[in-house]
Amino acid sequence: MSNPLLDFTDLPLFDAIRPEHVGPAMTELLGQADQALAQVTAPGFAADWNAIAGTLDVATERLGRAWGVIGHLNAVADTPELRAAYNEALPKVTEFWTRLGADEKLYAKYKAIDPARLTEEQRQARKNALRNFVLSGAELTGAAKERFSRIQERAAEVSQKFSENALDATDAFAYYADASELDGVPPDVVQGARAAAEAEGKAGHKLTLKMPSYLPVMQFGTNRTLRERLYRAYVTRASDQGDPRFDNTPLVKEILSLRREESQLLGYKNFAEVSLVPKMAESPTQVIQFLRDLARRARPFAEKDVADMRTFAAEKLGLADPQAWDWSFIAEKLKEERYSFSEQEVKQYFTAPKVLAGLFKIIETLFEVAIRRDYAPTWNPGVEFYRIERDGKLVGQFYLDPAARTGKRGGAWMDDVRARWLRPDGGKLQTPVAHLVCNFAEGVDGKPPLLTHDDVITLFHESGHGLHHMLTQVNERDVSGISGVEWDAVELPSQFMENFCWEWGVLKHMTAHVDTGEPLPRELFDKMLAAKNFQSALGTLRQIEFALFDMLLHSDHDPQADIMPLLQQVRDEVALLHPPAFNRMAHTFSHIFAGGYAAGYYSYKWAEVLSADAYAAFEETAGKDGLPSVQTGRKYRQAILEAGGSRPAMESFKAFRGREPTLDALLRHQGMA
């Protein structure tokens, strides 16, 4: 037990795990999993769900949990030593999962299980498992099977390298700005930049490409030259236009080629078809039609957004020919004039502790649970740990890692530490544990961190994923929480939670001015609400641009061809603001090249349809005070969150709403009705 990665008595020992523990732990756990696989596939072993789970699932769950811990540390506390240990273990781990998923003897055992002897949850898990065996190459033989296995290993390595290049290219950039260059940049950002430079013993103000540093300069900085400098660095990261050490161009071609080859081995035309097999959507054509239909509806509103910005830029800012690095600045200034407030003004009221308390209050009220501080070993002093209880009983726990820092991947995400599971090795109920990760700015001058309203929305979004994982009442691991949920429905609970960031009854409890403690004034909230759909159509077109590019890239595109002409073709069709030729957004598009969203980025827009329609049920049943109905919250919790992946997402949606979803609520919520 001297290796903390092999301690499964309770929560991971994050504070004790070192890079040197990775190799030995993986060797041990892979050995145990191999032994378990050999045991259950032996001719005499019964084709019985519980017998297989009690041997194989116990071993693979331990392997998955330990590897999840290592992967998490690699994302939030990256060091050269940990990265080396992770990359050394990656091929072995990938090889095992690939072999497991394609094991024809194990596939035969699952096929031989009598579904009549299973619970409903187990039947759904078995159905998913049989589908996944086919997608994992279990029906392939000989050279085709061998090649499929090599593809999985290589794809894992290349995706990891893509992710590393994106992180390293981001971390490698720093610009030390003079105070005179920072006119208009919010004071807390300027202070943070000065402190960052001082910490390195340098003069000036350290600006980076991390969001808390980059975005405020683009939105508020009046210095066009500085904006152009940062923009150019940001959009050329990890590409042929930037530092050649981090160029992702060859990796993109290899990833796409591997995916095309994999899909053809499985008997599909392209990777888009493979990607959609376990999703709600039926075909790439259906997705493309959905995206184009939404683009057609959003376009007239977006055209007005752009016309307004061009007029404003020319008349008020003296910018007759705005460039890509001007649009965020123009939009912010137009918003300030039109609605008489700025994001900077709003931010003063959203202190991190107060926002968190407000988030917890709405979760506790709506879902009839209690959230308490808890203790667990962590990887950084800024990480907090909590427990969720119902009727005094533990339901789930989560780590919250809110702050941006060097060595931590950008963006925000939810990940699972372990799933809810009625363990087959002793019958004990294992409660779920989640990670909620964000990248917010740190507090300055001893004050608490200040969040933008977008940051608040991000926090609510990730908590929605977390609740989906933690509030499940399903006891079968493979379909509990987010497991087994179709990928294009998995964003429903996260986007659903975002709606509460626009409810006065909720928002007023989560604000306190950083200096005076005064709550957000109603007048300022009304201005925010009026501005809520400011350029939402433009934002919709931007998401459609990414989603359409992703779907076409994985459909008809030649994997060895340059991706830039396709991206340009999509922009010509959808976009209204065309970036310069040097823009290489796709080279850091980690969602599709290093995450789970390949031929699935459309999920965000489809899930918005689901979540807007689900939230409309709360609007229809809200009390006179505007607060959401607890009864509707209970129905939502039971139909969507507690059911997890134990049935198709459409069935869960219909159990809650009584019908299939429609586009109407989304268009209304985004001011495009």
Are residues 551 and 514 part of one domain?
no
pLDDT tops 90 at residue 667: no
Instruction: Give the pair of three-digit tokens for residue 379.
Output: 């990887």
pLDDT tops 90 at residue 623: no
Assign 343 a pLDDT band (cuts: 50, 70, 90): confident
Per-residue pLDDT, 347: 94
Would you say residue 438 lies in a domain? yes
pLDDT tops 70 at residue 62: yes
Q: What is the pLDDT averaged over residues 145-156?
A: 95
**DSSP 8-state assignment for residue 638:** I
Are residues 552 and 530 part of one domain?
no
Are residues 526 and 408 part of one domain?
yes
Per-residue pLDDT, 506: 87
| CATH number of the CATH domain containing 26 | 1.20.1050.40
Assign 664 a pLDDT band (cuts: 50, 70, 90): confident
Domain count, the chain: 4
The last residue of one of the domains, among 535, 554, 588, is: 535
C-alpha to C-alpha distance for 486 and 483, rounded to whole angstroms: 9
Q: What is the pLDDT averaged over residues 535-564?
A: 96
Are residues 435 and 520 part of one domain?
yes
Would you say residue 379 lies in a domain? yes
Per-residue pLDDT, 665: 87
Are residues 275 and 187 part of one domain?
no
Per-residue pLDDT, 498: 95
Which residue segment(s) compose the domain that 130 sits in?
A: 4-101+103-139
140: left (phi over 0), alpha (psi -120 to 50) or beta: beta
Alpha-carbon dihedral sign for residues 517, 460, 608, 288: positive
Per-residue pLDDT, 1: 59
C-alpha to C-alpha distance for 650 and 640, rounded to whole angstroms: 10
State pLDDT tens for residues 624-663: 877 788 999 999 999 999 999 999 999 999 999 999 998 8
Would you say residue 625 lies in a domain? no
Residue 422 bridge partners (DSSP): 429
The share of the chain scoring above pLDDT 70, in percent, equals 100
Would you say residue 280 lies in a domain? yes
Are residues 508 and 561 part of one domain?
no
Are residues 389 and 528 part of one domain?
yes
Are residues 431 and 296 part of one domain?
no
Assign 622 a pLDDT band (cuts: 50, 70, 90): confident
Is the whole-model pTM more than 0.85? yes
Are residues 549 and 530 part of one domain?
no
Are residues 388 and 332 part of one domain?
no
State pLDDT tens for residues 482-507: 999 998 899 999 999 999 999 998 88
Percent composition of the chain: helix, strand, coil (DSSP 3-state, to 5): 60, 5, 35
| CATH number of the CATH domain containing 491 | 1.10.1370.40
State pLDDT tens for residues 403-460: 999 999 989 999 999 999 999 998 899 999 999 999 999 998 899 999 999 999 999 9
Would you say residue 263 lies in a domain? no
pLDDT tops 90 at residue 139: yes
Would you say residue 300 lies in a domain? yes
C-alpha to C-alpha distance for 61 and 50, rounded to whole angstroms: 15
C-alpha to C-alpha distance for 347 and 338, rounded to whole angstroms: 18
Burial class (CB in 10 A: 0-12, 13-18, 19+), 508: middle
β-strands 205-207, 370-373: how paired?
unpaired
Per-residue pLDDT, 626: 74
Are residues 515 and 387 part of one domain?
yes
Are residues 510 and 362 part of one domain?
yes
Is residue 82 within 8 Å of 125, Cβ to Cβ? Answer: no
C-alpha to C-alpha distance for 106 and 58, rounded to whole angstroms: 15
**Residues ≥6 apart with Cβ < 8 Å to 104:** 138, 139
C-alpha to C-alpha distance for 181 and 193, rounded to whole angstroms: 12
Per-residue pLDDT, 573: 97
Would you say residue 110 lies in a domain? yes
pLDDT tops 70 at residue 229: yes
The last residue of one of the domains, among 236, 259, 289, is: 236
Q: What is the pLDDT averaged over residues 349-377?
A: 96
Would you say residue 286 lies in a domain? yes
Active-site residue set: 462
Assign 363 a pLDDT band (cuts: 50, 70, 90): very high
**Residues ≥6 apart with Cβ < 8 Å to 389:** 369, 370, 371, 372, 395
Q: Mean pLDDT lowest for which of 68-77, 175-184, 622-631, 633-642?
A: 622-631
